[in-house]
Amino acid sequence: MKNYDVVIIGSGPGGYVCAIRCAQLGMKTAIIEKYNTLGGTCLNVGCIPSKALLDSSEHFHNAKANFSDHGIGTGELALDFPKMIARKQSVVDQTCDGVKYLMDKNKIDVFQGTGSFESKDTVLVTSEAGTETLKAKNIVIATGSKPIELPFAKFDKERIISSTEALKLPELPKEMIVIGGGVIGLELGSVYARLGTSVEVIEYADSVLPTMDSAMGKELMRSMKKIGVKFHLSTKVSNVSREGDKVTVTATDKKGKELTWTTDICLVAVGRKPFTAGLAAEKAGVELDDRGRVAITDHFQTNVPNIYAIGDVVRGAMLAHKAEEEGTALAEQLAGQKPHVDYNLVPNIVYTWPEVAAVGKTEEQLKEAGVDYKTGQFPLRALGRSRASGDIEGVVKILADKKTDEVLGVHIVAARAADLIMEAVVAMEFRASAEDIARICHGHPTYSEAVKEAALAATDNRAMHI
């Protein structure tokens, strides 16, 4: 039996970052991972591989559709889809190897196998080599999430697939139905649409990106229609079946009309759920909530005092950077420090093109809460930098308190919105006003000027360039 100050079950962004910070703070730390590579969903079958394919597909789309506008001739364009998938895997491998390096650098013991509770302070690691027992003062559950499988659309991992399989298809499909107009469905749908697949998105809600500010979903949908994506909103899927190499999808629209599609691939992207299978949480007395998440306090503590949980397996948005912040905060808390995570300031990002990024409250949330607010907007097509690059689609929207001018929410559809949003996060962390952002000198020509202009628009409608 080996003894540790901290044992972490799961090596995703929450788990491995928590392990590094614990080690930095002088704790003897071990991490357990059931798969052969470290990094969890994010690095292996989530954030990193999807971004690699998003970038590759955008390069192909630009070469096909936009290079000629810049006076660049490409001749006969060819797509080597297997090579694109291989490049994606190379990016994943390098990134996972980087995490292994960080574990070695910080002298963190890595155990390959399934981690499960034997008691509140004992974890078993089960692998093909046998079982090893670890004893710990503190145990962290960071087991992440997995795709939700619909009862009428069981994954066969070939034609009816989750995001995991969508990242490693053996060949480019001619047609694809995407069930779910959220982040994952739109990102992966845009990848295949850019490469030439006929993509149709079916969404139960009356808008795509239903959890974000409604203006963002409308803006992105307009953009994605231009690359050929078709949308079916307020549509409920009732059955998905496969016969040979074809999949039939049946649904009902808002008027009660039955719709049927036949497609090569059906991607089910209706969200993810906490993963606790094999954890044996009951042996430690750890309670789960009614949604299968590990129940925690505001300090990540479960009902068992020395057992904690972070990331997708607990409440809140399922985001890698949210898990990282929780992992860091928990490690510092165990060391006696007083960290905090402001969940209102965790940015939400969609890596389509243009990208979508948001932080703080949506306009719908402010209306529901009865907050007296004002709005400032600036279209990207009015920006010099956007016209220079050809990325003119999108808008920056700033919501501020009508009395105090404090920025309450920022919502962006734009090229590099994922990077632009961090200006808003920093400003809101320091409780900046729209006037504060408007008074800051922004470089010209840059995309960030759109943020300044939106802030100007929110302060007495002072935008200069519209």
Active-site residue (options: 59, 299, 340, 444): 444
Residue 127 C-beta-side C-alpha neighbours within 13 Å: 13
pLDDT of 444 reads 97
| CA angle, residues 55, 12, 91, in degrees to nearest 5 | 30
Mean pLDDT (the chain) is: 97
Per residue in 50-89, pLDDT (tens digit) is: 999 999 999 999 999 999 999 999 989 999 999 999 999 9
| 431, pLDDT greater than 90 | yes
| 464, pLDDT greater than 90 | no
Task: Count, in order, helices (H) and strands (E) of the chain.
Answer: 14, 22
pLDDT of 185 reads 98
pLDDT of 289 reads 94
444 catalytic? Reply is yes
**Do the first three CATH levels of 2-147+273-343 and 160-270 match, i.e. the same topology?**
yes
CATH class held by domain 160-270? alpha beta
Assign 111 a pLDDT band (cuts: 50, 70, 90): very high
| 116, pLDDT greater than 90 | yes
Question: Whole-angstrom Cα distance, residue 417 to residue 419?
Answer: 5
pLDDT of 174 reads 98
Assign 466 a pLDDT band (cuts: 50, 70, 90): confident
By DSSP bridging, strand 272-274 and strand 236-243 are unpaired
Mean pLDDT of 416-438: 98
Assign 151 a pLDDT band (cuts: 50, 70, 90): very high
* CATH among 3.30.390.30, 2.40.110.20, 3.40.50.300, 3.40.50.2300 for 354-458: 3.30.390.30
pLDDT of 210 reads 95
Q: Which helix (H) or strand (E) holds 436?
A: helix 434-439
Assign 460 a pLDDT band (cuts: 50, 70, 90): confident
Q: What percent of the chain has pLDDT over 90?
A: 98
The domain made up of 2-147+273-343 is a member of CATH 3.50.50.60? yes
Q: Where are the beta strands (DSSP E) in 162-291?
A: 175-179, 198-202, 230-232, 236-243, 246-252, 258-263, 265-268, 272-274
pLDDT of 198 reads 98
Per residue in 256-279, pLDDT (tens digit) is: 999 999 999 999 999 999 999 999
Mean pLDDT of 204-216: 96
Q: What ranges do the domains of the chain cover?
A: 2-147+273-343, 160-270, 354-458
